[in-house]
Amino acid sequence: MLTALLALSLFVWLAILFDASAGFRKLDRLEDEGEQINGPLLSIIVAARNEEENIKSSIISQLKQNYRNIEWILVNDRSTDKTGKIMDQLQETDRRIKIIHIQKLPESWLGKNYALYAGTKEAAGELLLFTDADVQFQEQAIGKAISYFTNNKLDHLTAAPNLYGRSIFLQSFIAFFMFGFSYYKRPWMANRPTSKTGMGIGAFNMLTKKAYHAFGTHEAIRMRPDDDLMLGKKLKEMGLHQRIVTAMELLEVEWYGSLKEALIGLEKNTFAGLHYRISMVVFAIAGVFFSQVLPFFTLFSRDHIALSAANILLLAIVYTLIIKQMTTFSPLLFLLFPITALVFTYSIIRASFLTFKRGGIIWRGTKYRLSELREKRS
């Protein structure tokens, strides 16, 4: 039985290696694009709830952009800290900033999704950019994105930022998350016109206003905690022209401040990513354990040394390939791989259990019922 599992795992990782190698060759770096200074009006929409520690520095980095034709719509989503006040202060320094203060959340809406939707109603630009309140922009980021967008005649562009982590354990967890996300979601498929696989990243989702209304706006994904991914998915399903690029020298975000915060943060969308199905949770846990943890245990079994070693070698190659493409972390983090895989498995179990125990998810202080999330998951 163990021999069959290890052999199957080896075959799977070989297939993933060839798939990822071919896929990453079609993944452009935004840094390699020329910079455009003038062009269509871009409306940058930022939704923020209790982001007093990050919002000011993020917006200031955006205001320094070389691209000139930009307006900002900052949406304060019922914050209980100083976020709204900081937004008002920023508006006083730059006339291109508009502020929306949301006091009450309508029924059947997630807070962030409604805030972004409200922001689009005030947007005058023919291009929209949804970004988060903790993203740091280099001054060439928007100009290069606009240039890439127009040169490739896109309807939607999403960009992967550099994810920053302070501790080595957090870096290891982020790296493992990107590793798992990449082989599971296969983001490079979004760049293939014939593929229905779509991709969206919350740090940077740029699209035409026409495309935004064509897929149904945020109303179509109003109860999706993975709204960024679903936005890209819906657009691609419509056959619109989409690209994903990396922008790790142009965009940076501190994903979470600690490993504990990461585990708490994943509570909101882990179960959503598994379609709120127990069968998918079991499949994910079993898949991670048998393909990514078991070889490290069976390496000490005399009858399985060769197969185990081959699995670990292939894991290291695939891990290094993905980490070098999608992060700035050292591939040496693979030394913590089996431990991080077990922590990630724990995060799936924890998030799923808490969702059932609470009868829903708690996101930024608001509870959303599981029954409603399931009902409106499509």
- Domains annotated for the chain, with CATH where assigned, are 2-23+261-364 (no CATH), 27-168+185-256 (3.90.550.10)
Determine the pLDDT at residue 39.
96
158-217 tens-digit pLDDT? 999 999 998 999 999 999 999 999 999 999 999 999 998 999 999 999 999 999 999 999
Q: Rounded distance, CA 88 to CA 97, Å?
A: 9
Record the pTM.
Answer: 0.93
243-263 tens-digit pLDDT? 999 999 999 999 888 999 999
Determine the pLDDT at residue 31.
98
Beta strands 205-208; 135-137: pairing state? unpaired
Q: Please state, in angstroms and as integers, the Cα–Cα distance from residue 182 to each residue in 17, 41, 175, 188, following that order.
A: 11, 33, 11, 9
Q: Please state, in angstroms and as integers, the Cα–Cα distance from residue 376 to each residue in 224, 246, 354, following that order.
A: 8, 31, 20
Phi then psi for 10, rounded to 5 degrees?
-60, -45
Residues 6+ apart with CB under 8 A from 156: 200, 205, 206, 207, 208, 211, 232, 235, 236, 240, 241, 242, 243
109-158 tens-digit pLDDT? 999 999 999 999 999 999 999 999 999 999 999 999 999 999 999 999 99
Query: Does position 378 have pLDDT exceeding 80, yes or no?
Result: no
